[in-house]
Amino acid sequence: MRRLLPIFAVGFIIASLLIYVFGDSGLFEFRRLDSYRRSLEANVEKLQERNSGLTKDLGSLRDDPERSLVMAREIGLYQAGDEVIRLEGGTRGSVSYEVGDLIKLRRSHAARNTIFKATGLGISCLLVVLAFLGARAARRRTNGGSRVRS
């Protein structure tokens, strides 16, 4: 029994460390989720900045009719009677808006987590069985190899 406890403790510690580091809720998974959280926060900040810029643009469009005319001309809308001069060879500037990054959480390989958990638990079970058999053999040696029936 004295040998059983340290072997069981070592097996338990090994299994726990494997699960703690490599498991689906271990250190590697925590770091991956923390990186994902930081990218989401950065994306939210970009979207909030974009939203405040669009809010300012909307306010200026409501207050200044000339600005709305200029923006309409930028996208190709003209009033009746406007004269349009097109220069050949010139490039037309296009305005593009970025809405935000599409960020997806990539799931880690489930098989990896299962393998590490099964390995850790298998090692600990094997060590417990070996410790039990070792303690049983030691008991037989101390009793002289004979069984005492009651």
Domain ranges of the chain: 1-24+110-139, 42-103
Whole-number Å distance between alpha carbons of 57 and 76: 19
pLDDT, the chain, mean: 77
Residue type at 48 in one-letter notation: Q
Residue type at 80 in one-letter notation: A
Q: For residue 123, what pLDDT band results from cuts at 50, 70 and 90?
A: confident
pLDDT at 109 over 60: no
Cα-based torsion angle of the residue sequence 105, 110, 115, 118 in order, rounded to the nearest 10 degrees: 110
Give pLDDT tens digits for 30-88.
888 899 899 889 988 988 998 999 899 888 888 888 888 888 887 778 888 888 777 78
